[in-house]
Structures are given as C-alpha cells and as structure tokens.
Structure 1
Amino acid sequence: MRRVLFCCSLLGLLSGQPVMAVELQRQVLASGLQYPWALAFLDQGRMLLSERPGRMRLLQPDGQPSAPLDGVPAVDDGGQGGLLDVIADRNYAANHTIYFCYAQPGTPASGNATALASARLNAAAGRLEQVRVLFVQQPRVASRLHFGCRIVDAGDGSLFLTLGERYSRMQDAQSLGNHLGKVVRIGKDGRIPADNPFVGRSGAMAEIWSYGHRNPQGATLGPDGQLWLIEHGPQGGDELNRIQPGRNYGWPVISYGEQYGGGPIGAGITAKAGMEQPVYYWTPSIAPSGMTFLHSSRYGEAWRGSLLVGALKFQYLARLVLDGGRVVREEKLLTDLRQRIRDVRVGPDGLIYVLTDAANGQLIRLLPR
C-alpha cells in the first residue's frame, strides 16, 4: 500500500478555486490481469471483471480473481476489439443478471459489430448461463477500431449503449439510418422503448437516442439524472457531453481536434447550428476511458459530486469539479503511477477503484486518509 499526496492542477490554481489536497493510499487488489476493461460490483463485496481478450473473472472482496468464467461468447479480439464493458443489474442480488458488450465476430466479408448481451451469473459454478444477445450494431464493419461499448443502466428498465463509428465510417455518424457513432437505448428484454426519440420516424433506426459521436468509451448517469458521455477525439478534441434525447453531437462536422498528422477535420469548424457543444474538451487528447460521478463523502465534502475520468494517453485519473453543469477545475491524480487508466468506478463502499490497461493490468483501490 502506497501513500501519495495529490494537490490540484494548474487549471485549478488559475480558476481561483481553493486548493483541496487529499491524501490517498493506493491498494493493489489484483494484478496480472490481461488488459482489463471494466469492473462491476455484485453482492457480498464481490466484483466482476472483464479482460479484453475474452475472459471474465469473479473477484473476491480482497481482489482474489477466479479462473475465467465459462459461457462467455466468442469475441473478436484484435485492435480495440474484444470483451469490453460489463455491469450488474440494479437488482442483481435478486436476479443475478449482468449485461456485457463485446466485439462480435463475423466473416471477413461481413465484418464485426458491437453487441450487447445479458446473462445470469452462476457464481458457484463459475459460469454464465442464459446468455442472450439483446442488440447488434448495424451495419457490420471490417474494422478493429472504435467499438465504443459502455453500458449504463438507466433505472427505468432500459439500457444505454455507446457505439463508435468504426473509424472508417465517420460520415455515417450523421446518418439516422445506421447505428454507427450513436448512443442507443433498448429495454432489458431487447425491445425498443416506445418513447425513444426516433421511434416512428421514416429512415431512422428506432434504437437511436443521440448521434454524431466518434468513439465514446465512458458513460454514466449524472446527479441530474441525465446521461453523461466522454468520447475520443482525433488528434485533440476529446469531449465531455451531457446527452439529451434526439440531439446531434456533431462528429465529424464539428470538432475541436484535427486529423492525425495535422490538417482540419472536414471544414475545420467547431460549431454549427443544430449541433451540440461539449461541456468540456481536451486538446491535446488525453484518450479518455471510463467515467463516474463520486457521490460519496469518503474523500471529504469537497470531492463529493466530482466527475472522475480515466486517461489512457497521458496516464492519469482526472477529477473534474463542476459548478452548474460547467467544469471549473481539472485535477490530475495518479500521475506518478505511469499506467493507462482504462476504467474508474465507485464501489458500494464509496471508494474509488481503477483498472490499468496493460498485459499485466491492475485493479487499484484508492483509500482516503
């Protein structure tokens, strides 16, 4: 266990906000994980963890991982694809249901697709049962990039799923006739909710909740009950967005980024009528992945309500301070860890848990002092 003192970043000092240093201990609960992607909290202090190559493991409260669970469907493991997000149903203690998303294999001709499935976790037997595919992104694309694949339980019997535009099909993010570069909302039984914004609209996919996204790899419900999203920009222009139904979030028409190696995206504009502006953006890109609001006061009242975001490229955990829906300060945590942060979650104990993205990845719990 390592004790580290974190203080606020230069942005915080410039904002005029008070410096709130918090002393933290890092507790490594599990190591030797192969590219862990997501963490879900179950019951009795146990956790469920996905590894991108296609394995799911049950973790005991002390972090001890099980052997890989049986019953996980085949995944297309390559590039950014594989077994990705996993969450537990809000009523897991009663129904033992989980939801997970992954790169579903296809043929070389058809390509692969982001898929969402449900299953019943039989922890005693170490397997998934009653696996049911609820949704498959259309069209399939021959790509190993931009799967999106974060799941949020909306609390009303529906699920949100983020979907990337698969990199080679960026223009399709603006079309309502496909699932590329979208957030979709479906029922936990796979049905389409009748109050989705494009239900009944000719030429539109009824699952779509919002569109104009690039590669959203973080999503969570905010204190306001709204869906919040982070997504990768190209070279610059990573975005934090507050998602409202039926809205267009602009990609690739507007962006605060540029082409890899330089040059404008499209016309090189950052705003256009009918397209939403981000709440916050990062230039240069931090490659954000994983996001959650901190609702507990385990780290003091000053941290309650903070938004936590993992950074892959610059290898830190961002703590964003919001005021009235605006980001007024960013604090960079875990900078000396020098590991890519793939996921960040807050447990039932009110503590922060992070996953590091590596062949020898770690699950780390952050303890306040």
Structure 2
Amino acid sequence: MKLPLLLVCVVCMASCQRATVDENGARVVLASAPRATATAGLMAAPRGEPPAPLPGVERIAGGMSPPRAVPDPPFTSTPVATFNEPWAMTFLPDGRLLVTEKRGVLRLANVANGQVGQITGAPTVAYGGQGGFGDVLLHPRFADNRWVYLSYAEAGTGSTRGAAVARATLTLDASGNGGSLSNLQVIWRQTPKVNGDAHYGHRLAFGADGKLWITSSDRQAMTPAQDLQSTLGKLIRLNDDGSVPPDNPFAAQGGIAAQVWTLGHRNLLGIAFDNAGRLWTHEMGPAGGDELNLIERGTNYGWPIVSNGDHYDGTPIPDHPTRPEFNAPEASWNPVIAPAGFVIYSGNLFPWYRGKGFIGGLASQALIEIEFTGTQAREARRYPMGKRIREVEQGPDGALWLLEDGSGGRLLKLTPNRS
C-alpha cells in the first residue's frame, strides 16, 4: 500500500522529505517518503444538525485526507479566565472549576465572573518538558467524602522521574475564592522511574463501577510498553484507594502486572467512557499515527512493535495490518493532530452533539469532533481554534469548555450560536 506513493516521490524528485511535529510542537523534518495509510474518514451529519456537511474529501492512496475545517462552527467561543500553562480541569458540584497549572498550582475558578483563586496543599511536582501537574478528578461520591484525585510528575533518585497519583481532601474557604488540600496520600506511582521528561500520560477517569483508570505512557522508553513488570505504556485499573481489583485481567500474576488492564500504548493523553459504557482512549503516535482506541480487557495495542507512524528519524515502523495479533486503532491520523483532552458529550445544550466525542488538538490547533457508530469511530469535523487546545470538558449546563495550552492559556466557554 505504501509502494505506489513512494514511487511517485522517486519519479517527481531526487529526494522526498516530510515534516511533522513532536509533542512539544517542534517541527521535525523526516527523510522518509510519506505514508499512504488511511486517516480518519467522514460520516454524514445526522439530520437536523446545524453544521453544514463538510466538502468532499480528496482521495489518497489507501484512504482519505483529513476532514476540511468547518468555516462557520455552530458555537460561540467566549474567554472566561486566563491561566499559566493549564493542563486539566474538572467542575465542582457548585459549578466552580478546579484547574491544574503545569508548574504545580491548583486553581479555583468562578466561571460566572472569571475570578481565579488558589487551592493550597498541592503536591510538589517535577516541572520540565512535558512534566508537571497533570489531571484533576473528583471521586464519584465527592459530596460525601470531599476526595480529589491529582496526577503529576514526581522526582525520583538522581535525575529519574515518573508519574504519581494522589488523593486528598478538599476544603473550600468561606470566602469562596480558594481552599486547601489535606490528608494527601499517594496511591499509585509509575514503575520504574526513568530519566527524561516526556510521555507521562497520567490522565484519570472513574468508571460506573467506581474503579479508577490511569493512563500510564511509555516515558519514551518504548520497549517497557510490552513488559508486564513495568507500568510504562499501560492502561491501569485500580480501586479508589489504589489497591488492585481481583477481576483485572492479569491479577493472578500479582505485582505490577495485576494493575494492568491493557498494554502496548505510547503516549495516552485522553480517556472517556461513551454513553453505552464503552471505554475509549487516544494517544500520540510518533511521526504520524495518532490513535483513537476502543479499550478491550487484556488487549495488546502493539506499541512499539507496530504503529501507523514512523520514528522521528524516519525509521519505518510496521503498520498494524502486518501484525494482526495486536489491536488496531479505530481511527488514526496522518498527519497528526497531537491529541490532548477528551470528552464524550452527554448534555442537552448541544443536542446534535449528544454521543459525540471531542478531542483537543495541540499541533492541529483545533477541536476535533468524533462520530461513534457502536464500536467504530471517525473524525467527523474539525473546528479551527487558532491555539493549541490542551483540555476539553463538559460543564454542568452542557456547555463545552476548552483550555488553551501554554503561558496565558485561556479558558473558553463554547455555547450554541443564536439563531
């Protein structure tokens, strides 16, 4: 499938180069020929949706080009507040918002007036590269126990680092402008800690059964993603106190393997349950090959043995179809979108979006709309946002909320356009 495209490059020019971006947005020029693997295709918009159907796609060898940008999105974007390198957010029951800043600060935002305060008592983070403060998540029974879950990069011995997840009790000030964390307890750590400051993952989610899910990326070590004696490159499933559920697929092996639900992942930066209870994750590929995966118990997703992308130096990696024993993604992207943040919409404010997914795009500087049909998924539309989008969340009133990446990253509220 790659051969015809490669021959075209050879005929047209003496050498053929392509460019991609790494996870930090840096441009990387590759010497290998472009791949002809299929990207996420299009599905027709359900009847009654405000967005106009996208224009037709251009055919390429083996698939379709990415959907063209929607020129007039069906929503209005309103800036609400500004943060310093925001990474994640979650809403409190009273409608206020907890926001993590990568340097180690936990913020409390009043989205009604844009006022931003601070929650003290956050853990010390190992800031640098892709490391720092990560996700923030409320316990399903937060109203009773006040537990907040936090993920972050943690320093180890020497120059090693790894992701950690802690649980703490949140107390809000009477003034409503801030609060504090107490009884902070680390309940999980990436094993082993390694050198480097990339690919932590550490996205968090609770399932309907109350189990805690943790995305644990490969820390750019690659091969540990296939090793059940390492948590790197895995999707982890735990009880809410960090103990291991006995029904995990590798629980009988004990030790680190018992924590693992799936393996063979690269850089998992999004996790969400759909309206039928199916679990989906997305991960950044290398040079090409970003993935959206349906998670199945005990399954191996192939990294670093297979990928729909190549190494940054241009060294090819076998595509998924060459090794059918590994699970192939339900959607993949060439060129990359650099996915970050993930929500599957269940609100009423955008009725035409119910059941659809939304992924933030870093390199693509876009909001990516995902259409699900049972166990299949495709990119349906792409909304240019003009900035790197780090996080996506659904608010209590059904509005969509975005966090821009980087210093001065804005909190944006998306609401339907007025007719």
Q: TM-score, normalised by structure 1?
A: 0.91
Report the 3-state secondary structure (helix = DSSP H, G, I; strand = E; otherwise coil) of the residue aligned with 2:118. Answer: coil
Q: Max radius of gyration: which structure?
A: 2
**Partner Cα separation in structure 1 for residue 184 and residue 54 of structure 2:** 45
Summarize the alignment of residues 1-369 of structure 1 with structure 2, pairs less than 5 Å apart.
7-10=52-55, 23-31=74-82, 33-62=83-112, 64-108=114-158, 111-124=160-173, 126-167=179-220, 169-201=221-253, 205-265=257-317, 267=318, 270-301=321-352, 303-333=353-383, 335=384, 337-369=385-417
C-alpha spacing 1:28/1:7, structure 2 compared with 1 (3 Å): farther
Report the 3-state secondary structure (helix = DSSP H, G, I; strand = E; otherwise coil) of the residue aligned with 2:117. Answer: coil
**Partner Cα separation in structure 1 for residue 188 and residue 237 of structure 2:** 10
> Structure 1 counterpart of 2:165, which letter?
L
Tell me the percent identity: 35
Report the 3-state secondary structure (helix = DSSP H, G, I; strand = E; otherwise coil) of the residue aligned with 1:69. Answer: strand
User: Is contact 1:9-1:332 (8 Å) kept?
Assistant: no
Unaligned regions of 5+ residues in structure 1, if any? none
| 1:13 to partner: Cα distance | 10
Report the 3-state secondary structure (helix = DSSP H, G, I; strand = E; otherwise coil) of the residue aligned with 2:252. Answer: coil
User: Is contact 1:11-1:330 (8 Å) kept?
Assistant: no
| 1:259 to partner: Cα distance | 1.2
| 1:203 to partner: Cα distance | 7.5
| 1:273 to partner: Cα distance | 3.2
| 1:299 to partner: Cα distance | 1.9
| 1:300 to partner: Cα distance | 3.1
**Partner Cα separation in structure 2 for residue 264 and residue 254 of structure 1:** 10
Please list the CA deviations of residues 168-212 of structure 1 after superposition, one character each: whole Å capped at 9, or x if unmatched.
x10110111110100111111111111111011267621111000
Please list the CA deviations of residues 297-349 of structure 1 after superposition, one character each: whole Å capped at 9, or x if unmatched.
32233x2111101110010000111223223442011x1x3100001011121
> Structure 2 counterpart of 1:45, which letter?
G
| 1:158 to partner: Cα distance | 1.4
Report the 3-state secondary structure (helix = DSSP H, G, I; strand = E; otherwise coil) of the residue aligned with 2:119. Answer: coil
C-alpha spacing 1:343/1:63, structure 2 compared with 1 (3 Å): farther
User: Is contact 1:6-1:22 (8 Å) kept?
Assistant: yes
| 1:268 to partner: Cα distance | 5.5
C-alpha spacing 1:94/1:202, structure 2 compared with 1 (3 Å): closer
**Partner Cα separation in structure 1 for residue 113 and residue 302 of structure 2:** 41
User: Is contact 1:296-1:304 (8 Å) kept?
Assistant: yes
User: Is contact 1:58-1:123 (8 Å) kept?
Assistant: no
User: Is contact 1:211-1:249 (8 Å) kept?
Assistant: yes
Which has the higher mean CA deviation after the structures are superposed, 198-207 or 151-160?
198-207
Unaligned regions of 5+ residues in structure 2, if any? 1-49
| 1:106 to partner: Cα distance | 1.7
C-alpha spacing 1:147/1:204, structure 2 compared with 1 (3 Å): closer
**Partner Cα separation in structure 1 for residue 135 and residue 53 of structure 2:** 30
| 1:115 to partner: Cα distance | 0.4
> Structure 2 counterpart of 1:107, which letter?
T
> Structure 1 counterpart of 2:295, which letter?
I
Aligned Cα root-mean-square deviation (Å): 2.3
Which has the higher mean CA deviation after the structures are superposed, 92-101 or 6-15?
6-15
Report the 3-state secondary structure (helix = DSSP H, G, I; strand = E; otherwise coil) of the residue aligned with 1:244. Answer: coil
Report the 3-state secondary structure (helix = DSSP H, G, I; strand = E; otherwise coil) of the residue aligned with 2:230. Answer: coil
Aligned length: 356
| 1:227 to partner: Cα distance | 1.6
**Partner Cα separation in structure 2 for residue 6 and residue 54 of structure 1:** 39
Q: TM-score, normalised by structure 2?
A: 0.80
**Partner Cα separation in structure 2 for residue 321 and residue 63 of structure 1:** 34
